[in-house]
Every structure is written in structure tokens, then in C-alpha cells.
């Protein structure tokens, strides 16, 4: 694409940039976007090149009565033509820094064992890889 990526923390002033973005699984729903913005427990960072959104990473702050807050990284995505340029690494690093600034004492995620690109990304970010994690879902939560 020839231009350098710029990185943004989603807020009401830049949320309009996500409308029409091709990076998500589905079209951005304005009502869901408003709900996401209104809840301080949700965090999204995104990258742009020119007017195009080329990547994002999102997370949810998890609270529990006996633990410090932790951030669960929900999803990371970079459009194919912008991959292997450090955008995913920068987005995840930014998301982790936002979580730490908000008082999170841990950050975690899960990915498929055969998702070699994602696993390489998380290793570059010096994440510790755990073993023997088993996932369960209800109502199709893990469906693509």
C-alpha cells in the first residue's frame, strides 16, 4: 500500500472510521458499536493506512471479586495485504499497554493449536504459551 500504518485507540471521536471497514467478520452494527463504546470494560485499537482500516485488536476487562482485573484479548485481525508488516504486533502491544494503564494485572487469550501465524505473533510479544487448555462453548460461541 506504500504508506505507514497509524494506530488508534477507539473512542467516540474516531469510531466513524470503523463503519464500512472490511477487517471484521461482519459489517459494523452502529448500535453494537455504541454499546461497545459506552462500556469501559471493552477496548479496541485499530490501524489505518490512509483512509482504510487495515487491522484491529480488541479485548475485554475481566473483573472478579478476589482478583485484580485482567484483559482477555478477544480478537486480532489484519487484512491480508497488510500482513507481515508488524501491524498485528504493534496492535497487540498497544492493547496490552492500554490494559496495563487501566490497571489490568494480567493479559491472556486462546487460539487454535494449528493457527501458526497467531502463535508466532504471540511468541514475538514474549507471551508464555500454556499447555492442556481445553475450551468449551454454548450456543455456537466458538463458531467461525
Domains and CATH numbers, the chain: 6-124 (3.40.630.30)
Query: What is the tens place of the pLDDT at every residue in 16-52?
Result: 999 999 999 999 999 999 999 999 999 999 999 999 9
Query: What is the tens place of the pLDDT at every residue in 42-66?
Result: 999 999 999 999 999 999 999 999 9
Q: Is the pTM of this model over 0.85?
A: yes
3-state secondary structure the chain: CCCCCEEEECCCCCHHHHCCCCCCCCCCCHHHHHHHHHCCCEEEEEEEECCEEEEEEEEEEEEECCEEEEEEEEEEEECHHHCCCCHHHHHHHHHHHHHHHCCCCEEECCCCCCCHHHHHHHHHCCCCCCCCCCCCCCCCCCCC
Amino acid at each position: 500500500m506504500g504508506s505507514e500504518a497509524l494506530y488508534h485507540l477507539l473512542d467516540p471521536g474516531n469510531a466513524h472510521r470503523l463503519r464500512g471497514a472490511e477487517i471484521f467478520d461482519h459489517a459494523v452494527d452502529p448500535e453494537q458499536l455504541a454499546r461497545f463504546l459506552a462500556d469501559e470494560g471493552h477496548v479496541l485499537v485499530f490501524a489505518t493506512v490512509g483512509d482504510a482500516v487495515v487491522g484491529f485488536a480488541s479485548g475485554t476487562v475481566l473483573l472478579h471479586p478476589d482478583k485484580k482485573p485482567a484483559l482477555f484479548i478477544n480478537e486480532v485481525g489484519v487484512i491480508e495485504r497488510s500482513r507481515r508488516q508488524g501491524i498485528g504486533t504493534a496492535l497487540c502491544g498497544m492493547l496490552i499497554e492500554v490494559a496495563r494503564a487501566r490497571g489490568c494485572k494480567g493479559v491472556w487469550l486462546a487460539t487454535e493449536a494449528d493457527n501458526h501465524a497467531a502463535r508466532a505473533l504471540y511468541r514475538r510479544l514474549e507471551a508464555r504459551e500454556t499447555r492442556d487448555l481445553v475450551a468449551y462453548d454454548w450456543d455456537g460461541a466458538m463458531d467461525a
